[in-house]
Structure 1
Amino acid sequence: MMQNEIDFAIELATTEGWNPGLHDRDCFYAADRNGFFIGLLNGQPIACLSAVKYSDSFGFMGLYIVKEPYRGQQYGLRLWHAGLNYLKGCNIGLDGVVAQQDNYIKSGFQAAYRNIRYQGLTGGQFPCNPELIELANIPFAQICLYDSAFFPADRTKFLKLWLTQPDSIALGIIRNNRIVAYGVIRPCRIGYKIAPLFADNPLLAETLWLGLLAAVEENQSVFLDICENNPHARALVKRHDLQIVFETSRMYTKYMPTLDFERMYGITSFELG
């Protein structure tokens, strides 16, 4: 799939109600230019899949969608096998929607935990905290090092674009010359998403959450995808009265990577991990 063809996949994701970001395409493509597959029928695109190879040992699959009139006719299965073959030898992760989880289990995936999307509203007062600064003022290498606790492979190429998307706000918290939290809020087809939201403790997560909400126009829908493994993340969405939208099962083919769930308040992407 060429870079401009990823727009087709993002449109299908929009149709499915996944609410992608307005500027996700280039970030996705930067992660792995060879990791996007398109299914054609008589020259027309009918299906898509991403299978991003972050390293020789880890990959992530997503954007597995077949246009509705062509479902149940094995078109998607061809793409699926192409993606699995591309990631052969890797521990492969994905976020499986409820309706497809049994099929993923048949393909060798094992459920690890749930990721849950919540919805609230933007607005509020920006925290009066001199430690809360624009992420652009923090050395990129330091951000990547901090991020490595939350993802099982290097994703520097992806982050370089993800953290600087047009119309997005990226904030971090520095304490004793060390990054202790960072997050990004970006515009989506509907409202905004905060993704990721990483912080060393609940108070820092709360400060960062409030700062990101206040950094964009108020009274807009905002979405946060939390990992159920973090009780502090569950407490944050409950405290702010966020409502569940839908859930996925994070699944892997080999094993669940060791990640710092207690500092993970919002994952980055259902599509790329």
Structure 2
Amino acid sequence: MQDNYTVRTMRADEVPLAVQWAAQEGWNPGLDDAGLFFKADPQGFLVGLLDGEPIATISAVKYGKTFGFVGFYIVQSEYRGKGYGLRLWDAAMQALAGRVVGLDGVVAQQGNYRKSGFEPAYRNVRYEGRCGGVAPEHSGLVDISGQSLESAVAYDRQFFPDDRAQFLRAWLSQPRAKAFGILAEGRLAGYGVIRQCRSGYKIGPLFADNDDYAEVLFQALRSGYSAEVPLYLDVPEVNSQAVSLAQGHDMSVVFETARMYAGQVPDIPVDRIFGVTSFELG
């Protein structure tokens, strides 16, 4: 590895490069992901530069005081196997030292992540289907805005290992997206977001107290778009009801990762996670 290789924190205007590379890898990021992800942790994106030119990226986003999540670990193909990625990885792990760290590892890299102390907790499976349909008539279905947005932030906390309110407020208010909640006895009992991606639309997160609420939210989120438009949903395979939801709408598996953790596996209700927020940020 050459000595003229440096690692530093990315600026906001550089994060779109990581998203562009993710798209080239086939990960299908959202059209507005770069700015939204940066708001999660402005110090959480690193770039590896060779002679001043970016050749590798990684995100090491901090949540609260106890949790971190790694994503966007990409080395341009001609520079792989030369130590550049490892140096960037070490910088990310140093930035997250002392925290439980999660990631979604593609199949080819899971062995390498194990060598760094990560152990698989369960598989996340990406399903592809189609948008369309009509929003169901349900008295508890609400658009998330204003006060409802803060209710969603509070509801979300039980599904994530540490505080991500700053990111979530941006995520729920993003352009080219819809966010719905469902009320039961005056309280939020589920919510979901759908956003426009490089290809079609992706639902995430989709959290609900039971599969009936998840079904209502799923139908509401995908309604209003053409039935020809692709729809994606990332499902924890250990949640059999989430798998049934996807399969019940003729969705097919197109991709998989392993949710892996270094440190104690967080105690979150995976049985009520019907759609993962993001493979890049958790």
Is the 8 Å Cα contact of residues 169 and 215 (structure 1) preserved in structure 2? no
Deviations 1:177-224 (A, max 9, x none): 101110000000000000001111111111110111103333200100
Comparing 208-217 with 259-268, greater Cα deviation is found at: 208-217
The answer for unaligned runs of 5 or more in structure 2 is 1-9
> Equivalent residue of 1:149, what SS?
helix
CA offset at residue 54 of structure 1? 0.7
1:126 aligns to 2:135 (yes or no): yes
The correspondence of residues 1-273 of structure 1 with structure 2, limited to 5 A, is 1-136=10-145, 138-273=147-282
- Percent pairwise identity: 50
> Equivalent residue of 1:50, what SS?
strand
Q: State the distance in 2 between where 1:38 and 1:14 align.
A: 17
Deviations 1:25-77 (A, max 9, x none): 11111111111001111111111000001122110001000011111111111
Is the 8 Å Cα contact of residues 65 and 162 (structure 2) preserved in structure 1? no
Is the 8 Å Cα contact of residues 69 and 101 (structure 2) preserved in structure 1? yes
Q: State the distance in 2 between where 1:15 and 1:154 align.
A: 31
> Equivalent residue of 1:207, what SS?
helix
Is the 8 Å Cα contact of residues 36 and 52 (structure 1) preserved in structure 2? yes
Q: State the distance in 1 between where 2:165 and 2:172 align.
A: 10
Comparing 136-145 with 61-70, greater Cα deviation is found at: 136-145
Q: State the distance in 2 between where 1:29 and 1:200 align.
A: 30
Question: Given residue 175 of structure 1, which amino acid in structure 2 is its aligned partner?
Answer: A
Is the 8 Å Cα contact of residues 56 and 89 (structure 1) preserved in structure 2? no
Q: State the distance in 2 between where 1:129 and 1:55 align.
A: 35
Q: State the distance in 1 between where 2:137 and 2:146 align.
A: 18
Which residue matches 2:3?
Answer: none
Q: State the distance in 1 between where 2:265 and 2:30 align.
A: 27
CA offset at residue 176 of structure 1? 1.7
Question: Given residue 225 of structure 1, which amino acid in structure 2 is its aligned partner?
Answer: D
Question: Given residue 35 of structure 2, which amino acid in structure 1 is its aligned partner?
Answer: D
Comparing 227-236 with 216-225, greater Cα deviation is found at: 216-225
Is the 8 Å Cα contact of residues 195 and 268 (structure 1) preserved in structure 2? yes
After TM superposition, the score normalised by the length of structure 1 is: 0.98
Comparing 210-219 with 196-205, greater Cα deviation is found at: 210-219
After TM superposition, the score normalised by the length of structure 2 is: 0.95
Say what the alpha-carbon RMSD is for the aligned residues: 1.0
Is the 8 Å Cα contact of residues 26 and 161 (structure 1) preserved in structure 2? no
Change (3 A) 1:177 1:256: same
